[in-house]
Structures are given as structure tokens and as C-alpha cells.
Amino acid sequence: MTRAAGVSRVESDAEPAGRAEAAGRRAEKSAAAFRTISEVADELDVPQHVLRFWETKFTQVKPLKRGGGRRYYRPEDVDLLRLIRGLLYDDGYTIKGVQRLMREGGLKPRSDSLVAKPAEPAAPQLDLEFPAPLDAKRRKAIKAAIDELSEMRRRLASFLR
């Protein structure tokens, strides 16, 4: 009986050391290495079921699935999930908002990480060095617009008082 208790104690003492070694190995994993769902969930600080849910909402996330359905995430998948997490949790986007950004191609990679950048319409090119001369008709239209805006501003100010 005493011997069994001693063996049990030795095994329980060996467990934490084994876990520490496993944690050390995880920290030393190459940046290009594939990650399990538990590793990605720990890294992104989200539950595993959230990652599975995101796979259904964002078809761009496609982990490899091995026997028994075990998922292995590529580094690109982890980067994309990190971006999605940041948009949803930090920037306040909705899932539909992130989907729209992805669909419109508004997610732009940067050298240090992926960053969301909404697609901007191309600004019209104006030649500011040589502006077109204003004829009387254009001046009258601009003056009318300014007068209308001034009247709206006056009405709004009186309404808010």
C-alpha cells in the first residue's frame, strides 16, 4: 500500500514537469508551423467554439482537417483570425461588417500585421495650379449654395436653443 502511494506521488510530481516541457515546446514552435485549434484559441484568447463558428461565417478561414476532424491552422489562417478578432472585439465591427470588408477587398496586409483598411473611392484629380475661371453663372450657383447653407445653419441653431 505504501509503495503504491509512493508511486502515485512520483507520477503526480512528474506531471507538472511534463506539462512545463510541453508548454516550452509550444512556445518554441516555428512561426511557419501549423497550429491546433487549442493553440490558436489560447493565442487569440477566444474559446474554441468561436473559432469553429467563425469558420462557418468566413469561408476564407480553411484549416486542414485530419483524421477524426482534428483542425490544423496555417499561419495565414491564424493571421486572418487575429484580424477578424481585432475587428470584431476591438474595433466594434459586426460579423456582416467584417464579411463586407473581406468581400470588398478592404483588408490590407501590412508588414507587421494585417490591418483593416476600408476601400476608399478614388478621389477626383483636380488641377489646383490652374483652376478654371469662374463665370457669372458658376459664381451665382456657388453664392446660392452658400446662402442656402447659411440659412440651414441659422435654422438649426435656433432649433437647438
- Specify the amino acid at residue 75: P
CB contact at 8 A, 50 and 89: no
Output the tens digit of pLDDT for each of the chain's 161 residues. 444 444 444 444 444 444 445 555 555 688 889 999 999 999 999 999 999 999 999 989 999 988 888 999 999 999 999 999 999 999 899 999 899 888 887 665 433 444 445 555 555 554 445 555 667 888 888 889 989 999 998 998 888 87
Distances (CA, A) of 6 to 14, 15, 16, 104: 12, 14, 17, 64
Separation CA 48–CA 37 (nearest Å): 6
Q: What pTM value is reported for the model? A: 0.52
Separation CA 88–CA 44 (nearest Å): 12
Domains of the chain (ranges; CATH) run 30-116 (1.10.1660.10)
